[in-house]
Amino acid sequence: MDAFITHTGTAVPLRRSNVDTDQIIPAVWLKQVSRTGFEKGLFSAWREDPGFVLNDPAYQGASILVSGPDFGTGSSREHAVWALQQYGFRVVIAARFGDIFRNNSTKMGLLPVVLPGEKVEALQAAVEADPSLPVTVDLEGREVRWADEAVGFEIDDYTRWRLMEGLDDIGLTLRHADDVAAYENERQPWLPTTV
């Protein structure tokens, strides 16, 4: 995945809560076996409404999505992350995220940023007032900045390091193959196999 250190771009406000992954990418799009082409499915049902915020020309080219709470709940489909990235998003900001979505995002280098609800709303209002407002998401400094605001966010050191280095998780784990083999020798004898 691409390394993420800091990103500055424009943002789009999504004033909805419980944006589940079925909305981010409806199931009919999940039938593909490739990893590409999912941007067409992003919010595909909602995008049919000309009034939907992603259809507003003022927000074209935005790379930061600022959503209401409980973004990415529901299905484990990583296609939701692929769709957001392939559409052009690098960051999603919300007060709360579904656990699986947040995990999937960090595996792919899409940065999920948790800010307090009132800060999310302040950012949404600022972007609505000026859609060209530059917003900076600084992973190294763990801070989101816009206009004269600077709001810190939390992320654990390990995930931050992995994102900043753009490291492949599997490669990291395979360094510990000996530990895995040692564990396997000690597993309980009744545990099932599928054969």
Phi/psi at 13 (nearest 5 deg)?
-85, 125
* Residue indicated by tokens 């790379």: 63
Residues touching another protein, count (CB under 8 A): 61
- Judge contact between 166 and 109, C-beta under 8 A: yes
Per CB under 8 A, 193 contacts another protein: yes
Per CB under 8 A, 30 contacts another protein: yes
User: Which residues have CB under 8 Å from 46's CB, separation 6+?
Assistant: 23, 52, 54
- Judge contact between 59 and 12, C-beta under 8 A: yes
**CA distance readout (Å), 100 to 74, 75, 80, 103:** 8, 8, 11, 5
* Interface of this chain with another protein, residues 68 to 107, rule: CB under 8 A: 68-70, 73-79, 81, 96-100, 103-104, 107
* Interface of this chain with another protein, residues 128 to 167, rule: CB under 8 A: 156-158
Least Å distance, CB 79 to another protein, is 8
Least Å distance, CB 61 to another protein, is 27
Which residue lies nearer to another protein by CB, 30 or 151? 30
CB count in 10 Å sphere of residue 170: 8
Q: Which residues bind another protein (CB under 8 A)?
A: 15-18, 20, 22-23, 26-28, 30-35, 45, 68-70, 73-79, 81, 96-100, 103-104, 107-108, 117, 156-158, 169-170, 172-174, 176-177, 179-180, 183-184, 187-195
